[in-house]
Amino acid sequence: MEQGEIVEKVVRYVTEQIVDDASSVEVEVVNDGQDSVVAEVRTAKKDMGRVIGRRGRVARAIRAVARAAGDEEGLDVQVEFLD
């Protein structure tokens, strides 16, 4: 299993459930050190607001779930939402 694979699957699944255009969701996990990864999330422009949520609540929840998935792999996880 590749490093960050669980994180990628979890972040992709959660994000696809939130957006209107699930086919536009892209999640790329990038190594950021030995035990650290960054999950880069891209969506359609019209869906980015939904993913971030009011006052960033949805984004915070996605980050919390991603960190929990990272704990499963022994990784420190950060999530970035990109245009």
What CATH number does the domain containing 51 carry? 3.30.300.20
Residue linked to tokens 């993913």: 51
The residue range of the domain holding 42 is: 5-82
pLDDT in tens, the chain (83 residues): 788 999 999 999 999 999 999 999 999 999 988 899 999 999 999 999 999 999 999 999 999 999 999 999 999 999 999 98
CA dihedral 65, 81, 47, 5 (to 10 degrees): -50
**Which residue type does 29 have?**
V
Query: What is the number of domains present in the chain?
Result: 1
Structure tokens at 42: 């891209």
Q: Which secondary structure element, helix H or strand E, spans residue 37, and what is its range?
A: strand 36-42
Among the listed residues 28, 43, 44, the one whose alpha carbon sits nearest the alpha carbon of residue 78: 28
